[in-house]
Amino acid sequence: TLPRVYITRQIPPEGLKILRESGQVQYELWDSDDVPVPRKELLQKVKGVDGLVCVLTEKIDTELLDAAGPNLKVLSTMSVGFDHLSLEELKKRGIRVGYTPDVLTDSVAELTVALLLTTSRRLIEATHEAKTGGWGTWRTLWLCGHELAGSTVGILGLGRIGVAIAERLAPFKVKKFIYADVAPRPELASVINAEYVSFDELAKQSDFLSVCCALTPETKEICNKDLFSKMKNTSIFINTSRGGVVNQEDLYEALSTGQIAGAGLDVTVPEPLPTSHPLFTLKNCVILPHIASASYATRNNMSALAANNLLLGLRGEPMIKELKL
Ligand code: GLV
Ligand code: GLV
């Protein structure tokens, strides 16, 4: 009999087509993209499966792996992030893990640039003023923001995505790229001519600070009071990685007191961020609902890669993109 697989979401058609046409698996899926599978249902559905395809809304932890049982050999997440997975627990059980880096790099970099410009040039405020009667006359300092030309752009966590963002920002006449990380990344840094600096220097020098690191126990809330207090009051903070990297209370404080000029966030804690959250009251904070990889092409590519990783894993072959546990 064919390996049994559960898919926790109605993923984009490319991936489902690959699974269907492979003839290698029998799968069942949570047939909705609008609401996540309820935890109780998930715990029941995973019983005895050989493979699991998930998205970032599902916590893959001890409870879930216990519910799945010893048949589970392959987990394939349709995401580049892996903070929803208990890696230690997966490793202990010998479960292989596929994920979807690279295919989303262009889309995430593109969105990050869009969010950066939206925040720095105050586009949301500006359209709001235009349509609600605030546009009294052309004014000399009204809705002024901060420009990229001549600026220093800082990247926290230099990986594929950070490089792709810098490549797109360079034509805006950025003066200097700097980055902070746990260790220098000379090969990646040379692509964008970026200088390795300490975390402190990153805070002090950046006119635009873009968070591009993974969320791990080491990076949890590293963007806090300490960082914001060292930033210039003209600086813009951008986060398209994970909300957990930021202490949101400290960010609120920094934005509301003018310690920094603005923030653009594609990720928050929790998600969705409640509409009553104080960050939504701030004009200098632009919040997007976690859409950095959301282009049709990229989401289909992620779906296809997740499907192919799963099939390769179930055959005992190397996956296209496999997390080293
Ligand atoms: C999106 O946030 C992802 O991890 O792919
Ligand atoms: C702006 O529109 C200008 O003419 O300076």
Convert the pLDDT of each residue in 167-196 to its tens digit.
999 999 999 999 999 999 999 999 999 999
Q: How far is CA 44 from CA 19, 284, 307, 310, in A?
A: 22, 44, 22, 21
Segment 228-253 mean pLDDT:
98
| Ligand that comes closest to the CA of residue 138 | 2
Predicted pLDDT at 197? 98
Q: Which fold has domain 4-103+296-314?
A: Rossmann fold (3.40.50)
What DSSP element (H or E) covers 119? helix 105-120
- Residue of 57, 60, 78, 80 with the most ligand 1 atoms within 8 Å of its CB, for mutation: 80
Band of the pLDDT at 99, cuts 50, 70, 90? very high
The CATH number assigned to the domain with range 105-287 reads 3.40.50.720
In 271-319, which residue ranges form alpha helices assigned H by DSSP?
A: 296-314
Question: What pLDDT, on a 0 to 100 scale, did the predictor assign at position 119?
Answer: 98
Q: Looking at ligand 1, which residue's alpha carbon is closest to its atom 5?
A: 79
Take atom 4 of ligand 1 and give the residue whose Cα is closest: 81
Q: Is the peptide bond before 274 cis (omega within 30 degrees of 0)?
A: no
Question: What's the pLDDT at 208?
Answer: 99
Average pLDDT over the chain, rounded to an integer: 98
Span(s) in the chain for CATH 3.40.50.720: 4-103+296-314, 105-287
> Would you put residue 130 in left (φ > 0), alpha (ψ -120 to 50) or beta?
alpha
Q: Residue 18's pLDDT is what?
A: 98
Pairing of strands 152-156, 96-98: unpaired
Atom of ligand 1 nearest to the CA of 267: 2
Six-digit token pair at 296?
A: 């049709």
**Enzyme catalytic residues:** 290
- Residue-level pLDDT at 52: 98
Mean pLDDT of 37-64: 98
Cα–Cα–Cα angle for 99, 105, 106, rounded to 5 degrees = 145
- Are the C-beta atoms of residues 6 and 49 closer than 8 Å to each other? yes
Give the pLDDT of residue 41: 98
Q: What is the pLDDT of residue 88?
A: 97
ipTM of the prediction: 0.78
Ligand 1 pocket at CB < 6 A: 56, 79-81, 104, 293
State percent of the chain over pLDDT 70. 100
Cβ atoms within 10 Å, residue 106: 17
Residue found by looking up tokens 């810098």 in the block: 166
Question: Percentage of residues in the chain with pLDDT exceeding 90?
Answer: 100
pLDDT of residue 189: 98
Question: Looking up tokens 């840094």, which residue turns up?
Answer: 189
Q: Starting from the edge strand earliest in sequence, which strands make up the sheet with 74-77, in order?
A: 26-29, 4-7, 51-54, 74-77, 96-98
What is the sign of the dihedral through the CA atoms of 252, 35, 75 and 99?
negative
- When pLDDT is averaged across residues 100-112 and rounded to a whole number, the result is 98
In angstroms, how far is the first alpha carbon of the chain from the final one?
29
Q: What is the pLDDT of residue 222?
A: 98
Would you call the peptide bond into 217 cis, given omega within 30 degrees of 0 as the criterion? no
Using the atom order of ligand 1, give the atom closest to the CA of residue 78: 5
Query: What pLDDT is recorded for position 27?
Result: 98
Q: Whose CA is closest to atom 1 on ligand 1?
A: 79
CA torsion angle 70 74 75 78 (round to 10): -160
Q: How many residues does the chain have?
A: 325
Mean pLDDT, residues 111-118: 98
Confidence of residue 44 (pLDDT cuts 50, 70, 90): very high
